[in-house]
Chain A
Amino acid sequence: MGLLEAILISVIAASTPLLLAAAGELVVERSGVLNLGVEGMMIMGAACGFAGCWLTGSTFLGALCGIAAGAALSLVFAMLTLGLAVNQVAAGLALTILGTGLSGLIGAGFVGQRIVPAPHLDIPFITTLPVVGKLFFGQDGFVYFSILLVIAIWWFLYRTRAGLILRATGDNHTSAHALGYPVLKIRLLAVLFGGGCAGLAGAYLPLAYTPFFIPGMTAGRGWIALALVVFSSWRPGRLVGGAYLFGAVTILQLHAQALGLGIPSQLMTSLPYLATVVVLVLISRSRGIAGSAAPASLGMVFVPDR
């Protein structure tokens, strides 16, 4: 296995949880809701995903448990922000704190347990092809699912009527409401979808990445996913590019250090975040040119008048 190939495989593994979580959050934000609780939903997904896999012995069922846990936690967020019209930022932050604590409690009994990591696809003859074989045909199921998920989201948002309605809700909920669309119901579904994606992203960590559970193992990846949504200026295509860029910078800086290139590691560690700041500046400087699709009603509370 060549070094380049090894690096690329690591990059894909590092990017996948970011892509999964960010894809879900993109749909949530496109519906006009800002859910800052991604980190909390991810760590819940990690705890419940691991628990599910350990109890059933199946990675697939574990992943389903992760999705369910993320969606369940997002339901709490939906009840607060959509049902009771609570401030979304405050509710999202509270959700992260809740998720961090609750996952520690649920996962406490599973710390130190071991599971079999998610199997990698292995197609005879094709997987053994040089360079491309392992890269494109030897990944675990999560990786392929994350790509399919983004394609499905793109198709949904831009090629279906339901997607158009969801985007309209995010851009102007008053008009959407006036046209007779159930704003709160649409947003509820979007929030649940986002929660499921975050839960799956969290479950990826103990099921495939580092096959054990430790409280707090998401280590801030939920926040990076949130930054990625802004980085992508709310477009699914750019989201894939952004996620892989983040993953690539993370992995490449480790390799640069091991090769002894002498670049300060602190600088390299901060590169993805610097990139986000630069993109944010570019977006706000040239709204039209950069083509930001920031939903106009993002984060605003909507209370339907009868």
Chain B
Amino acid sequence: MKKLLMISAAIAAVAVAATGYNAHAADKLKVGFIYLGPVGDLGWTYRHEVGRQELVKALGDKIETTYLENVNEGPDSERSIEQLARTGHQLIFTTSFGYMDPTLKVAKRFPKIKFEHATGFKTAPNMGNYAGRFYEGRYIQGVIAGKMSKKGVIGYIGSFPIPEVISGINATMLGAQSVNPNIKVKIIWVNTWFDPGKEADAAKALADQGVDIIMQHTDSPAAMQVAAQRGILAFGQDSDMIKFGPKTQLTAIIDNWGPYYIKQTKAALDGTWKAGETWDGLKEKMVVMAPYTNMPDDVKALAEKTEAGIVAGTLHPFKCPVYGQDGKAVECKGGTHLAPGQILGMNFYVKGVDDKIPGK
């Protein structure tokens, strides 16, 4: 009997301690992040991590953040998202396209927790989404590539044939065609977001086949490094990769998530958070261009002019008419340019792309 008493006393003590801990933790809002790659990938995940760090810097006294890195897309991610939900996180950012359905499933099971999914198209009352208008940056890169490629061929390393990547290829081509109507593109899909060896192999294959400008939609600086070794030009992706190609990088599309993370977390703190659909670009500075380097002044001026046009709204990369590969104009649902839904769900190549979308 005495033993039993001691045990219950011990349990009670633990329970008190646990409650005490919870009470303390509840003072701060717990914000969770799910990352696709390692935080040091120098690309996609790294930029989300920079955003998280900016968030901590801005609101560190009111919040507590957690991140899980190297979370595979698909069923594996559902477990990770649920883990964050079960451990008291009130606001969870899932930062890759492939987390969309898992996030939705978990969001339905935890209606009181707020979810934010990056680069997808599904929402729920407690799940918003956010994405950058990366195609705006791609269009500028296309203009630069059209001017800078001596051979008139752009090498393009794609990850997966999803709408975001396809709209990037199309925006690039439309930009390039605006200065060189005969521009060509060679596309290699590596079917991974992150595999430096494979990305390098793809870049080598493109260089071997006579491409003199490489553009990538994968996450590591491997392609930039290969381009530097081969003495050709390249664009950085997700973050400024100039370090890996001081004489190679023309510019880079930089993802700038920090301001958005701060805004949404503030909204969650003061109770004004709503599940929204955010799609910001150069104007809102969610997409930022790295300095224009390694190009003559006239190309630089043209790139700056293009950027200014997009920011001012006088230039839209998908201005109608947009022609499909068959030469027919695509239905223009957005008035003067393609509607957001047409861009976010893009599954066709524009005229001038001499290739087929894999599996289509």
Interface positions of A (Cβ within 8 A of B): 1, 3, 6-7, 10, 14, 17, 100, 104, 107-108, 111-112, 114, 205, 209-212, 214-217, 219-221, 250-251, 254-255, 257-260, 262, 264-266, 269
Contacts and interface: CB of A to CB of B under 8 A. Distances in A.
Interface string B197-229: 111111011101101000000001110011000
B182 interface: no
B125 to A, nearest CB: 35
B244 interface: yes
A252 to B, nearest CB: 9
A14 B190 CA distance: 14
5 smallest beta-carbon distances between A and B, as pairs: A215-B38, A111-B40, A219-B195, A6-B208, A265-B189
Contacts of B19: none
Given A214-B42, A216-B37, A269 B225 contact: no
Interface string B257-270: 00000000000000
Interface residues of B, number: 42
B244 A212 contact: yes
B201 A266 contact: no
B350 interface: no
Interface in B118-149: none
Contacts of A215: 38-41
Given A210-B225, A211-B225, A258-B209, A6 B37 contact: no
B186 A260 contact: yes
Contact of B222 (A1, A104, A210, A254): A210
B188 A257 contact: yes
A211 to B, nearest CB: 7
Given A217-B196, A217-B197, A265-B189, A7 B225 contact: no
Interface string B151-195: 000010000000000000000000000000000001111111011
18 contacts: A7-B208, A10-B208, A210-B196, A210-B220, A212-B222, A214-B40, A214-B41, A215-B39, A215-B40, A215-B41, A216-B37, A216-B70, A217-B196, A219-B196, A254-B190, A254-B202, A257-B189, A266-B358
A1 B39 CA distance: 38
Contact of A219 (B192, B206, B209, B354): B192
Contacts of B189: 257, 265-266
Contacts of A216: 37-38, 41, 70, 194
Nearest to B40: A111
Contacts of A262: 355-356
A210 B244 CA distance: 11
Contacts of B358: 264-266
Nearest to B359: A264
Given A212-B244, A216-B37, A258-B209, A14 B42 contact: no
Nearest to A263: B358
Contacts of A254: 188, 190, 201-202, 205
A212 B245 CA distance: 13
Interface string B317-360: 00000000000000000000000000000000000001110110
Given A257-B187, A266-B191, A111 B197 contact: no
Contacts of B190: 254, 269
B243 interface: yes
Contacts of A6: 204, 208
Contacts of B38: 104, 214-216
